[in-house]
Chains A and B, each alone.
Chain A
Amino acid sequence: MKSGKAILMGAGIFAVLFIIYYAFGHPYFNGNRLTMFVCVMALSITILYYIARANSGEKIYLRIIPGLKAFDEAVGRATEMGKPVLYVPGIMDMDQVETVAGVIILGHVAKMTATYETNLNVPVSRSIVMEAGREIVKESYLSVGRPDLFNDDMVHYLTDEQFAYAAGVDGIMLREKPAACFYQGKFYAESLILAETGNSIGAIQIAGTASPSQIPFFVTACDYTLIGEEFLTASAYLSQKPALLGSVKGQDMGKFIVMIAILLVFILNGVHDLGWIDIDFKEWLRVE
């Protein structure tokens, strides 16, 4: 709690200093970006505050997400059937948040496959994702004391081309018949092709993506789907690390602030339409 208070105090001092600086003409500061600056600072401080609270031992509650609970079940099923686990980390590069989240979740799945001695197959469509994937899988196998089970070919490159990649992954599914398929990352039109093939071979399928246009396909064809932020919260849920749990709580508070802002803007806009106030508050939210 002490470090949480220290962050709030630091933020308060910073805010006062910034107001003074701004009042004195704010040289070197682009006034058009003030709204963005305030948003970044407010969100960062909120998240840091809750991370500090979590690190100091405060218990952070995280609600149960069925899709994440099913991870263990899926790997366990593959182990019982003596079949491999297929993990698809999306088709985009490491500059996408979803791919980063997908690679982090891969680390957790790799820990499970290493513990249960189940084969893991990770076809990727980007060279940097392949390198990151290999690093994280190797790390996971080392952390559970099974480096002997790891080999570089677990994470292998297919192609950058979207539909060629989908064709390649489909081929792997049909020939290896994995018992569990994970689709965690950024997907486009190949999502349904992959999920339908996985469905046809009877694999238990868990998808996770923040791509709104692809979620419906995964919901239709997969057993469990992590929708949007559920997917981005997965690493916190699976690792139960205080810092990550704290950041989830911080983001929740951020969402709460956004909800209040939405409601306020909606009501104020109505009042503005009636001609009771004459302030163009929408301009405040515009970022140049």
Chain B
Amino acid sequence: MLFTTEIIGAWFAVFLTLAIFSFLYKDNPFYKAAEHLFVGVSAGYWASTFFWTQIQPNLFGRLWPKVDGEMGGLRAAWYGIYDFFGWFHSGIFPEGGIDKGHEMNLVYMVPFILGIFMLFRLSRKLGWLARWSMAYVVGLAAGLRLYGFLNSNILAQVRGSALPLFDGWGTAINSILIIIGTLTGLFYFFFSKEHTGMFGKISRVGIWFLMISFGAAFGFAVMGRISLLIGRFYDLIQFSGSEYHHATYWLLAVIVILLGVQAFRERGKQTERA
């Protein structure tokens, strides 16, 4: 029986898939192991990915891009700082600058400094500086989103209400239904007026439209989830073949037996306590 790296990988994938599925039974050591592995590995992976795809190429790569030839004056002093960093880690700060196709842009000192401010959270005295970074992120996002939301949620919506009315009865009914649904839905989201009388009745129609659209969205999303489940089952079936030494059957049997033993022992303990 030969275990290549591909087969070991398949066994590992099957084990983790079944361990996560075991959650459907109840919380158990297999699920705990898979969960902790998943959380830990992904946290480390994300930290590493962010650093090597964003901070190193896009931030450091713009502050200290690769330069050819001699440098003098302020530039030499600026790259002196870089060389100092390079002394700690030449992989992040390779000799002569970072070659990611960027020009030097000192505006990027702003995110660099704000990023360092975030690290001051570790200090009791200077922790307040981190608030500046957070304020920058929230304020900038609010300003940027205002434009996007107005364009996509208001102007595009109003523009989209120019629906055809005279292209046949079916189209006309469809268009009128969409307009009634949009307007009554908006009525529901009036907060400064009590939903009673005629206003309440109209907003009730709006809720009906909302619920019907939620139902449709629910069905659509469930179909997507089913396709994901089929994908996992497809892998489990593939790995149950003889070329993978029946990984799915073996691991399923081991997990079921061990969970059964655990359940049996737990029941024994409960009986003892009683």
- The answer to whether B182 and A128 touch across the interface, beta carbons within 8 angstroms, is no
In angstroms, how far is the closest chain B Cβ from the Cβ of A250?
9
**A284–B250 alpha-carbon span in the complex (Å):** 66
Chain B residues within an 8 Å CB radius of A230: 189, 191
Which of B31, B155, B162, B186 has a CB less than 8 Å from the CB of A255?
B186
A-B contact count (CB 8 A): 184
Q: Which of B140, B175, B191 contacts A95 (CB 8 A)?
A: B140
Q: Is A94 an interface residue (CB 8 A)?
A: yes
Count of A interface residues, CB-CB < 8 Å: 71
B85: min CB distance to chain A, Å: 22
In the assembly, what is the distance between CA of A5 and CA of B188, in Å? 29
Interface string of B109-149 (1 = CB under 8 A from A): 00000000010010000000011011001101110111101
Is B23 on the interface with A (CB-CB < 8 A)?
yes
Residue from the list B154, B166, B179, B182 in contact with A39, Cβ < 8 A = B154
Count B interface residues, CB 8 Å. 68
Q: Give the CA-CA distance A175 to B26 in the complex, in Å.
A: 11
- Select one of A43, A95, A252, A261 contacting B150, CB under 8 A: A43
8 Å CB contact of B162 from A36, A249, A266:
A266
Give Cα A128–Cα B218 distance, bound, in whole angstroms: 31
A227 touches B192 (CB 8 A): no
Residues in B whose Cβ lies below 8 Å from that of A286:
155, 159
Interface majority SS on A: helix, strand, loop or mixed?
helix
Give the docked Cα–Cα distance between A237 and B159 (Å). 32
Is the beta-carbon distance between A216 and B38 smaller than 8 angstroms? no
Q: Is A32 an interface residue (CB 8 A)?
A: no
Say yes or no: is A56 at the interface (Cβ < 8 Å to chain B): no
Q: In the assembled complex, which residues on chain A have CB atoms less than 8 Å from the CB atom of B34?
A: 167
In contact, A287 and B151 (Cβ under 8 angstroms):
yes
Q: Could you tell me if B158 and A159 are in contact, using CB atoms closer than 8 angstroms?
A: no
Q: Are B145 and A252 in contact (CB under 8 A)?
A: no
Interface centre among B23, B32, B144 (most CB of A within 10 A): B23
Q: How far is the CA of A249 from the CA of B182 in the complex (A)?
A: 20
A213 and B221 contact, Cβ closer than 8 Å, known pairs A258-B154, A262-B179: yes
